[in-house]
Amino acid sequence: MNQQSLRYLKIGKATDLTGNDRKLYRAFEILPGFLSWGTILGTIILSIWAPVAAAYFIIAFDTYWLLKTGYLSLHLRHNWKRTKYNISLNWREMLEKLKHEHVYHLIILPFYNETREVVETSIKALLEVDYDKSKMLVVLAGEESGGEEACQTADYIEKKYGQKFNKLLITWHPAGLVGEMAGKGSNIAFAAEEARKKILTPLNLPYENVVVSAFDIDTVAYKDYFLCLTWYFLTAPEPHKTSFQPVPFYNNNIWYAPAFSRVAAGSSTFWQMMQQERPEKLATFSSHSVSFKSLHEIGYWQKNMVSEDSRIFWNLFIAHDGNYAVTPISYPVSMDANLAPTFWQTTKNIYKQHRRWAWGVENIPYILFNLVKNKRINPWLKIRSAFVQIEGFWSLATNPLLIFMLGWLPVILGGNHFNQTVLSYNLPSLTRSMMVVAMFGLILTAMIFVSFLPERPKNVKPTSKIFMILQWILIPFTITVFGAIPGLDAQTRLMFGKYMGFWVTPKYRK
């Protein structure tokens, strides 16, 4: 790592800069929203002034989307098979063939005001994994602003489980520190440094032998997760130049979540599964793992922005001049699907959660700005990285709207002259037929979703499994309402400099 790489490493937004740097960064903040709104408004304007051109554009776009859907479905199928295979492997037997006794796992569980049940479930899961507990260092990272209930939960966990691991450390992230945004990033960065001082240094553990797993508080590790992670860490060509990404299953409470919440959660899982088959496009997301050595060298996670889970990858990518990647491990961890006491609160929470995820668009100006400033990164790698990120957020915000809403625009806005043409007559049926063909992929989606379901609770009706299949007819609704709209919302806020803060997803268990 060189000083030039580190100069702009922890920028949160344009207002962190001055002069021409600030103007350039601000232009990059405007870009995603400009492209998305330009596409949508441009299609509307084209439908009014050049309906024939708009119709051909929509047909071409639908064809592209149909081919892309098929392409992604193949990746989903491949990762489904790979994940099932990895779950079935004897990871302990594989790991015994390697020298692994020197590897320690530091697990950070940040929490705010979640219930004791949520916190304890994740701690119990760590106790149930097949891994030497003397090699596990657990940090329950509380927020000072969490209140008395959070203190009581931490005390309970410490008294009941404090002796079950090599170390269990409780940390309290102070509120209102200058230069910080309240949220997961600032909390786990504080917790990591506390763990360094209070665990790693007293135990004299080399940083290169410690793997950090930054979990959400509702993360339930599968039985062989740390065996699998250790194997990937030890067999990686450059273990300190890669992060390790599991597949997030939102299964903890899946049987109790409403159908649209299950579809939204399942869609997020499937996207991550498809990305695992395209590691060149993969960034860290939600619960992930990384070498402590790599983290410490760059000062841990950023404390002044929302999307710390993906930003840590880009921090390391920039710091290592592009010589950094994500290793997909195709092994799951489980978390909560969105659920609240009422239907409407669940709906609002899903929207807010997906808007926060869509706020990952704040990475685009960061990436583009640093790619411009860092002259040591390969030019072709710069182009590919920039294109993948821009296209991804553009697709999120525009594709569902173009597919399910704009196909009728030339017919509605094109005027009488266009409506008398054969093209006008055939356009709706043609686009509808293409979408019907694409929707056949939902059969595979339903099969994969059902295959990963946890055991049905006794108080849930057996017929519920039927609805787990039928629910996928909601996909046009969910990818629009919980995909495109929050995506546009986030990009519009960034475009106008209305920066978002961190929103904590409430955890509710029945």
Which pLDDT score, from 0 to 100, does residue 407 have? 61
Q: Give the residue among 124, 329, 110, 106 at the shortest CA–CA distance from 215.
A: 110
Q: What is the pLDDT of residues 357-379, one digit of tens each?
A: 999 999 999 999 999 999 999 99
Write phi, then psi, for 242 (nearest 5 degrees). -155, 145
Which pLDDT score, from 0 to 100, does residue 66 have? 81
Q: What is the pLDDT of residues 229-242, one digit of tens each?
A: 999 999 999 999 99
Q: What is the pLDDT of residues 80-105, one digit of tens each?
A: 999 999 999 999 999 999 999 999 99
Pairing of strands 136-143, 104-111: parallel
First vs last C-alpha separation in the chain: 49
pLDDT surpassing 80 at residue 504: yes
Which pLDDT score, from 0 to 100, does residue 408 have? 65
- The Cα–Cα gap between 155 and 174 comes to 18
Q: Which CA distances in Å does 20 have to 25, 32, 295, 369, 497?
A: 9, 20, 30, 12, 17
Q: Give the residue among 501, 502, 493 at the shortest CA–CA distance from 30.
A: 493
Q: What is the pLDDT of residues 391-445, one digit of tens each?
A: 999 999 998 888 776 666 655 655 565 555 655 545 666 666 666 666 667 788 8
Region 436-458: mean pLDDT is 83
Which pLDDT score, from 0 to 100, does residue 63 have? 81
Q: What is the pLDDT of residues 255-297, one digit of tens each?
A: 999 999 999 999 999 999 999 999 999 999 999 999 999 999 9
Burial class (CB in 10 A: 0-12, 13-18, 19+), 362: buried
Number of C-alpha atoms within 13 angstroms, CB side, residue 436? 6
Report the chain's mean pLDDT, rounded to a whole number.
91
Q: Where are the beta strands (DSSP E) in 292-429?
A: 325-334
Assess contact for 261 and 337: CB atoms under 8 A: yes
Report the percent of the chain where pLDDT is more than 70: 92
pTM, two decimals, is 0.93
pLDDT surpassing 80 at residue 170: yes
Number of CB atoms found within 10 A of residue 446's CB: 17
Which residue would you say has higher pLDDT here, 44 or 38? 38
Which pLDDT score, from 0 to 100, does residue 473 have? 87
Token pair 């409780």 is found at: 170
Assess contact for 363 and 385: CB atoms under 8 A: no
